[in-house]
Amino acid sequence: MAGLLKIKREVEEFKKEYFDRNSQAEESRQRENRAALRIQSWFRACRARAYLSHLHKKAITIQKIWRGFTARARFRQMVKAAYLIMKMNFYEEMAVRIQRRWRGFFVRKYIHNFYARKRYLEGLSRKNALVRRELGELEELQKRERDCLEMVKEQTAKVYKAHRLHHLLSTKQCPGVFNSPFRPAPHEMELLLRQVKYQTPTRLAPSGKSCLLGMPGPAAQSYPGTLGSPLNKTTRTCFSPRPVLPPIATKKQQGLFREPGEVWEQCVRCPDLTLRLQTSYTHLEEAQSQLRQHKSMTLPSGRIETGKEPTKTVFATYSVSDHSLLQGGPLSVTHLLLA
């Protein structure tokens, strides 16, 4: 009996303990579930992070290997291109050197021979020296000619001035201007005046500005034996074969008057011929003959046969003379008068 009671007592305690444990388990079930979920999530996160880090490491390794491979391939291409460029530059430099040597040899041998060029330059220098010497002689000759011409001009001017100043010649009774008693010797103009004979002027040209330094101007009088002497060139008008006499030299009139030389030129000038004087005396006969000749040139050239219809008359084509007539040529007025 005691054993049965003990068993019953243990059963009751077991039930009570089971009930307490179940109540405690129910009370902590949600908290434990949340804790378990948190542990699971943390574990799974750690596992995922570890896996992702593993994947990252493997991807980095793959990328590193691939990038190294591509970089090495690209570098090999760059090395090949650089080597090709260097080789082409070297070949071009060598080709240029060969061409330079060959062209120099060819030019020196066949085109520009050094010794022929040297001989040519030496001959050219000798020719230049000869030409320079000849040009120097020509320059000296021209200079002497110019000096002689200047001396002739000066002497002519002195002679002309002596002709103009012949009234200043000294006489036995009265010494001239150039023969001053205070001079030890007479002036050179005095000696020239003694040598020159007095010449009367034959023509007076239109008045104008006198030349400088005693040279004869266009308005100066001409004397025989000088450059501007009328004996050398006889001036004749269009009406009279005799020389023109100079006008009377008078003082210049005051007022708005023209120069005597201009009036004299107007008087002796040839008048302009009128149309009647310019036309020939036989102009009408010539015009008629030209008209007849023109008509004979423009006659019809067709023929009429007997017993047949008359052929078409073929006339001459338009000629240059017709064009001159239409344009008012030399025969237009005469044709109108004859019509």
pLDDT band at 160 (very low <50, low <70, confident <90, very high): confident
For residue 210, give both structure tokens: 């006198």
Range ranked top by mean pLDDT from 149-153, 235-239, 250-254: 149-153
* Torsional class of 255: left (φ above 0), alpha (ψ -120 to 50), beta (otherwise): left
Give the pLDDT confidence score for residue 258 in this predicted structure. 72
Query: In this predicted model, what pLDDT tens digit does every residue of 271-302 receive, in sequence order?
Result: 666 666 667 768 778 888 888 888 887 655 44
For residue 94, give both structure tokens: 């060598």
**Rounded CA gap, 260 and 249, in Å?**
9
Give the pLDDT confidence score for residue 134 in this predicted structure. 95
**Rounded CA gap, 190 and 183, in Å?**
12
Query: 3-state class of 204 per DSSP?
Result: strand
68 touches 75 (CB < 8 A): no
**Rounded CA gap, 199 and 231, in Å?**
12
Give the pLDDT confidence score for residue 312 in this predicted structure. 42
For residue 314, give both structure tokens: 């073929």
Q: Write phi, then psi, for 150 (nearest 5 degrees).
A: -65, -40
Give the pLDDT confidence score for residue 6 in this predicted structure. 82
pLDDT band at 244 (very low <50, low <70, confident <90, very high): low
243 touches 236 (CB < 8 A): yes
The model's pTM is: 0.30
Query: In this predicted model, what pLDDT tens digit does every residue of 73-109 receive, in sequence order?
Result: 999 999 999 999 999 999 999 999 999 999 999 988 8
Give the pLDDT confidence score for residue 225 in this predicted structure. 42
pLDDT band at 145 (very low <50, low <70, confident <90, very high): very high
| Burial category of 224 from C-beta neighbours within 10 Å (exposed 0-12, middle 13-18, buried 19 and up) | middle
Query: 3-state class of 203 per DSSP?
Result: coil
Query: In this predicted model, what pLDDT tens digit does every residue of 112-129 receive, in sequence order?
Result: 888 888 898 999 999 999
Query: 3-state class of 228 per DSSP?
Result: coil
Give the pLDDT confidence score for residue 305 in this predicted structure. 42
Query: In this predicted model, what pLDDT tens digit does every residue of 24-44 receive, in sequence order?
Result: 888 888 888 989 999 999 999
- Domain ranges in the chain? 79-105, 165-199
**Rounded CA gap, 265 and 241, in Å?**
16
Q: Is 18's pLDDT higher than 80?
A: yes
Q: How many CB atoms lie within 10 A of CB 227?
A: 15
